[in-house]
Amino acid sequence: MAGFRDRTAVAGVGYTRFSKDSGVSTLTLACEAILAALDDAGLTADDVDGLATHRVGDSAAPSVVGPALGIREPAWHLDQFGGGSVSHAVIGQAALAVAAGVARTVVCYRAINARSEFRMGGTGRALPVSPEVQYQAPYGYVAPPQQYAMFARAHMTKYGTKEEHFGQLAVRQRASAVKNPRALMRTPITLDDYLASRWIAEPFRLLDCCLETDGACALVVTSAERARDLRRPPVLISAAAWGGGDSFLSGGGGDVTVTAAAEMAPRLYRQAGLGPAEIDVAEIYDCFTYSVIVQLEDYGFCAKGEGGPYAASGAGVPVNTHGGFLSEGYVHGINHVAEAVSQLRGEAGDRQVDGAQVALSTAQPGYILPATSALILRKG
């Protein structure tokens, strides 16, 4: 895979404001974030020849966004069905299209009104992601926080992971969000606040769960060579990997404390030519506190079973420096990549990790569907 490593780059990043009620369509959010990302890169919509997104029937497709921005001739586009597990695959696909010469400038975006229009699992409606939903929905098992709570409990049972480990992680991510002007939640919390927050699905409390956010984020992907001539310091895409694994929805599968990321991670690191010890900052998909803990294990930052104490201590790799979905906002994966870019550009302000050269950014690790994806980015 040396033929892929560092050949493409993220050249621009754009956001809308994050809120609980955007008051506008996902098309409007997408356009605003895309234009902001292009401006960041020093480009315009006339330079764009590719668009890519992921969605679950809840947002504007490239075939809608393209004409809305007057992009007349998209050479390549991707409208990926799926949730958080495919969030990083979309950017990986865009990088492949650029590396292959099929497209020159691809904008990856995710626009979502996850609070005011389409609440995931919050409407009593199960997402039609898999035929396996029929074996759970009749029992009132319909929402991601319930599913992740089930696996979190298994990890607690097997390894002695404690609710205080979840709580300390939530407290630390909030402390990072306090330093992030974009973040929705900027009031510090304590472990007592965590323990006092109401139950959602035991063992998860409210503060174990990500926010439901209205907002959009966009990234400009182009060749590394071209990115060097653009406005901002390039951030190279060193590796992009996709993974699968067992389905734990209903059938198949062995150890429920191991995710699809465990099998994929060695492939990702091999592609980048480095290992977890070389990662300076890790933006880890935090739909729930537990998803961070299990990924710290499965991406090799600590041994299996030690993710709870590792995450609680805060002594290891800096994690979710923007506050994550728990405290910055939930843009379904892409805002983790955007934060990694900010860190590698050295422009993360009060939350900057000194000397950050290499970042890991990860997707939902694969419990809800047996799939995941991740990127390793490097300062250009």
Instruction: Report, in Å, the least distance between residue 143 CB and other proteins.
Output: 5
Nearest CB to other proteins, comparing residues 18 and 151? 151
The Cα 58–Cα 170 span in angstroms is: 28
Contact window for other proteins (CB under 8 A) among 76-84, 247-255, 337-345, 357-365: 247-255
> Nearest to residue 341, comparing CAs of 327, 331, 353, 332?
353
Q: Can residue 253 be called a binding residue for other proteins (CB under 8 A)?
A: yes
Rule CB under 8 A: say whether 251 interacts with other proteins.
yes
- Residue pointed to by tokens 């809120």: 19
Min. distance of Cβ 352 from other proteins in angstroms? 36
- Contact residue for other proteins among 141, 175, 273, 306 (CB under 8 A): 141
Which position among 3, 23, 57, 140 is part of the footprint of other proteins (CB under 8 A)? 140
Using the rule CB under 8 A, which residue among 45, 126, 175, 274 binds other proteins? Answer: 126
Question: Do residues 338 and 13 lie in contact, with contact meaning Cβ atoms separated by under 8 Å?
Answer: yes
Residue number with CB closer to other proteins (81 or 199): 199
Which listed residue (142, 169, 279, 375) binds other proteins by CB under 8 A? 142
Q: Is 41 in the site for other proteins (CB under 8 A)?
A: no
How many residues sit close enough to other proteins to count as binding (CB under 8 A)?
39
- Say if residues 271 and 309 touch (Cβ distance below 8 Å): no
Q: Which two tokens mark 202?
A: 């035991």
Tokens of 151: 């696996």
Distance CA 173, CA 184 (A): 12
Query: Binding string to other proteins for residues 51 to 80, with x set by CB under 8 A, is what?
Result: ------------------------------
> Which one of residues 201, 241, 262, 317 is an interface residue with other proteins (CB under 8 A)?
201
Regarding 304 and contact with other proteins (CB under 8 A), the answer is no
Q: Select the span of 75-83, 141-149, 226-234, 332-340 touching other proteins (CB under 8 A).
A: 141-149
Pair 34, 106: CB distance under 8 Å: no
Neighbours of 324 (CB within 10 A): 33
Question: Would you state the structure tokens that stand for residue 131, as one six-digit string?
Answer: 């035929």
- When binding is defined by CB under 8 A, the residue of 198, 277, 350, 355 that contacts other proteins is 198
Among 1, 63, 135, 275, binds other proteins (CB under 8 A): 135
369: contact with other proteins by CB under 8 A = no
Contacts of 146-149 with C-beta under 8 Å, sequence gap 24+, read 146/121, 146/201, 147/249, 147/367, 147/368, 148/204, 148/287, 148/288, 148/290, 148/291, 148/367, 149/200, 149/201, 149/202, 149/203, 149/204, 149/208, 149/288, 149/290
**Residue 265's closest CA among 331, 378, 166, 361?**
361
Does position 146 bind other proteins by CB under 8 A?
A: yes
Catalytic residue numbers, as ranges: 285, 330
Any idea what DSSP says for residue 358?
E
Cβ partners under 8 Å of residue 268, min gap 6: 239, 240, 241, 374, 376
Strand, helix or coil for residue 172: helix
Closest CB 129 distance from other proteins, rounded Å: 12
Q: Which of residues 254-293 bind other proteins (CB under 8 A)?
A: 254, 256
Q: For other proteins, give the closer residue by CB, 104 or 153.
A: 153
What does 116-148 look like in DSSP terms, one character per residue?
A: TT--TTSSS----S-GGGGGTGGGT--SHHHHH
Quick check: 196 binds other proteins (CB under 8 A)? Answer: no
> Would you give the DSSP letter of residue 245?
-
Stretch near other proteins under the rule CB under 8 A, chosen from 51-59, 63-71, 162-170, 195-203: 195-203
Shortest reach from residue 194's CB to other proteins, in Å: 16
Q: Which of 2, 23, 57, 139 binds other proteins (CB under 8 A)?
A: 139
Q: Is the dihedral of CA 302, 307, 309, 314 positive or negative?
A: positive
149 binds other proteins (CB under 8 A): yes
**Tokens read off for 27:** 């098309």
Which residues contribute to the site for other proteins (CB under 8 A)?
121-122, 124, 126, 131-143, 145-146, 149-151, 153-154, 157, 198-204, 248, 250-254, 256
